[in-house]
Structure 1
Amino acid sequence: MPLVVPVKFTYASRDLWFDPQDLDILEADYAICSTERGTEIGLVTADPFEVPQDEIGQPLKPVLRVASDIDLQLADDLAIQGDEAMVDFRRLVKELDLEMKPVGVEYLFGGEKAVFYFAAEERVDFRQLVKDLSSTLHIRVDMRQIGVRDETRLVGGYAQCGQELCCTRFGGQFEPVSIRMAKEQDLPLNSSKISGVCGRLMCCLRYEFEAYKDFKSRAPKKKTLIDTPLGKARIQEYDTPREQLVLRLENGKVFKVNLADMTCSEGCKKKAAEQGCNCRPDCVTRDVLERIESPEMRLALMELDRENGVDVGDGLSSADRLAGTSMPKRRRRDAESDARAGQGQGEGRGRGKGRGKAETPEAEGAADGRRRRKRAGSGDATDVAAAGKNASREREVQQPQQQNRG
C-alpha cells in the first residue's frame, strides 16, 4: 500500500495527500509541496500512513522538502504582500463598480502567480479588473470565485454557541444541510436561530442529525402513555444528548428517566413481533423510580405504600427528628393538674346525681307539697295584682262622671 502524508493549505477546504518520498517528515512540520497550481507551503496534519490503492483517485504529487527557517521567513513575507495587495484589490473593485466582495489574496510560494479570491452572487465580468491588477502588481493574476460558506471559513469568527466556527475549526468539504435536520432535532424553524454567520443553515445541524435520528427510532413517540407504579405518565419531551425522557404524571409531577432503564410489556413485545419492528419500551418499574433523587418522588412512593397497607412510618430517621418523644416536665405537670380538675368535676356531678336518687318517697312527697304551695302563692299574688289594677281603672272612670254632675 502507498504511503501518504496529509497537508493543510490556507485556502484549501480539506487536507490533501502527498507522497512523502522517504523524507523524515512528521506531524506539525511545514512542507514545500508541488501542486497543480505550482509550488506551495502547507502544514502537515498527521504522520505518514498507508492507504489502499483504490482510495487514491489520481497519482500523488510529491513533497519537495521540509520547510526550513528561510522558507518560513519567505512564507511570512508573501503573506504580508498578500495583505498589501488586498488594499489595491478593494480599491479597483470600487472604482470599476463591480458586484463582488474581495475576500483574500494568496501569493504562491514559488512566485508563479497570485490568486485573488472574491465572493459574488452572480457571474462577474472581471476582465478589466485582471488587467488593472496585473499592471499594478506586476504579477500573473488568477481570479477565483467562492461561496459564502468558503468566505466565512476563510475569514473566521465565532458562532452563536460561543465556539469557533465549525467550518474554520474542522474544515472539510461542505455537505448539504436541509430544514428536515432542524425538524428532526426539534429546533424552532426560525431562520435567525438556525442560520450561521454565513446566512446559511448551520453546519452543526448535520453533525447531530444521525444521533437524534437514532434516538427517536428507539424511544417511544411523544404524547405516548407509559405505565408506572404511580399511574399513567405521558411523554412530555426528549433529552436526546443524555438519552432521557421527560414524563408527566396525572397529578402533575414531572420526572426524567433513562431510555435504557425502561422496559417493554408483554403486550408491546407481542405487537412488535407481529408487525416485525423494534419494540419500544412502555413501562417504568419501581426500582427505576426509587433511583430518582427527588424528595417528591420518594413521598409519592411512600404514599403509594400507605395506600397498599405497608407501614412506612413518618419517613424520618432518629437523626432527622428535631425533638424527642418525651414530654417536658412543666407540660406534664400541667397535664396532670388538668386531668385531676376534670376528674373532680365529674365526681361532684356524680355525687349530686347520687343524692337525688337516694332520697326516700316521703321526702319526695314533701318536696312536691312545697312546690305546689309555691305555685299557689304565686297564683294568689297574681290575683291580688289584677284586682288592684281593676279598682284603679274603675276610679279613673268614676272621677269624670262626678265632675260632669257637679
Structure 2
Amino acid sequence: MAEVIGVRFKNVGKVYYFDPAGNVLKKGDKVIVETSRGVECGEIAMENRQISDEELVQPLRQLIRVATEEDLKKVEENKKKEKTAFGICLKKIAAHKLEMKLVDVEYTFDNSKILFYFTADGRVDFRELVKDLASVFRTRIELRQIGVRDEAKMLGGLGICGKPFCCSTFLGGFQPVSIKMAKEQGLSLNPVKISGICGRLMCCLKYEQETYGELLRSVPGVNSVVMTPKGRGVVTDNNLLTETVYVRLDSASDAPTQNFRAKEVRVLKTGRNSVSREELEQLRTLEGN
C-alpha cells in the first residue's frame, strides 16, 4: 500500500496519483508537481488515501510543494500569455495557408513548453509553422492535433438538452458510443437527433445502455414472432421502459395492433430490426473521435 493524492490539471480531466511527501492536503488545494511534460500546477481532486501498489504506475512522482501566492500569480500570467500566443498563432497559420483550426493554447507552468491544440480534416505538415513559432517564443513548441470531441470538451457550450456539455462539466474521459446503442434505445437514427454539437454520437447514450440491455433480454424485439393470450402474432413495436409489446395478430392482420405485457407473451422466433447498409454507412461517421 502507498499513500497518494489525486491531482487534476484541467477543470474536467484525468486524475493522476502523486506522493504527498508527508503533506496532508484538502480537495481544491493548488499544488506544484513534476509531470512528463515538466513542472505543472494542479488542483487536488482526491485527498490523501491509501492505494494498493497494483493500482499505481511506478515510479510514483513526488509533490514538489503546495502552491504559493507567487505560484498562483504565475499561473494567471501564463493565462494572459496564452491569449497573446493564440492570436499570434492564428496569424502564422494564415500566413502559412494551413488547413487547420486552432482550438487552444497552453503554457506549462515553468514556461518550458507551449502546446497548441488544433483540429484538421487530415494530416497537416506544420514543420515550418513550428519553426516560425519557436523563433517568436524562444521555447519548445508542440502542436497537437485533437478530435472534435476533445475540441468540444475544451471549448464547452450547451447541448441540445439545454445544459452544459457533459464532457466539459463532469466526464473525465470519453466512453465508446455506438449506433447500436441508439438503435437498442429506440431512438430515431436521424443524425441531427442523436449527435452532439461536436458532430459525434451523444455521450449520454452510454448512461442508460446497461438498463436497456437488461430490458432487451426480457422484452421481445420488433419483428419477433410471439404467442399471446389471443393467439400468434408479430411484434410491430415495443416500449422497453413499460415492458410492453404491440402485436399484430395473425388472426386479425387488418385490425389495429394489440398491446400486451412482455411477460404475457412467449417468443417463437426472434426478429431482426436491422439498419440498411446505406443508412449504416452514413451513420458510421458519428462514431469517431
Shared fold by TM > 0.5?
yes
1 CA distance for matches of 2:147 and 2:236? 43
Matched residue SS, 2:93 = helix
Alignment of 1:130-169 (within 5 A): 130-169=130-169
Cα 1:20–1:255 change in 2 (3 A) is farther
Paired residue total: 257
For 1:53-68, list aligned pairs within 5 A: 53-68=53-68
Per the alignment, residue 99 of structure 1 pairs with 99
- In the TM superposition, 1:3-402 aligns within 5 A as 3-10=3-10, 13-221=13-221, 227=229, 237-240=238-241, 244-246=242-244
Q: Contact 2:12–2:170 (CA<8 Å) still a contact in 1?
A: no
TM-score (norm 1): 0.57
* Distance in 2 of aligned mates of 1:254 and 1:65: 69
Contact between 1:246 and 1:254, CA under 8 Å: does it hold in 2?
Answer: no
Using the size of structure 2 for normalisation, the TM-score is 0.78
Q: Amino acid of the residue matched to residue 72 of structure 2?
A: L
CA gap of 1:221–1:145, structure 2 versus 1, over 3 A, is closer
Aligned-CA RMSD value: 3.0
Per-residue CA deviation, residues 367-391 of structure 1 (Å, 9 max, x unaligned), is: xxxxxxxxxxxxxxxxxxxxxxxxx
CA contact (8 A) 1:14 1:173 kept: yes
Question: What one-letter code is carried by the residue in structure 2 that aligns with 1:134?
Answer: A
1:78–1:107 CA contact under 8 A, matched in 2: yes
Structure 2: distance between partners of 1:161 and 1:102: 27
Tell me how far 1:57 sits from its aligned partner: 3.0
Task: Name the SS of the counterpart of 1:74 in structure 2.
Answer: helix
Q: Secondary structure at the match of 1:218?
A: coil
Cα distance in 2 for residues equivalent to 1:219 and 1:49: 44
Structure 2's unaligned 5+ residue stretches are 250-254, 269-289
Q: Does structure 1 conserve the Cα–Cα contact (< 8 Å) formed by 2:219 and 2:240?
A: no
Residue deviations 1:195-250 (CA, integer Å, cap 9, x gap): 1111111112222222111111133445756559xxx9x8953153xxx2346799
> Which structure shows the higher strand fraction?
2
Q: Equivalents in 2 of 1:11, 1:100: separation in Å?
A: 25
Instruction: Give distance in 2, aligned partners of 1:192 and 1:104.
Output: 27
Q: Unaligned stretches of 5+ in structure 1?
A: 273-406
Letter in 2 for 1:95: A
Contact 2:184 2:212 in 1 (8 A): yes
Identity, in percent, stands at 37
Higher relative contact order (CA 8 A, sep 6+): 2
Report which of the two structures shows the higher radius of gyration computed on alpha carbons: 1
Q: Which amino acid aligns with 2:30?
A: Y
Tell me the residue number matched to 1:331: none
Change in CA separation of 1:256 and 1:159 when aligned onto 2, cut-off 3 Å: farther
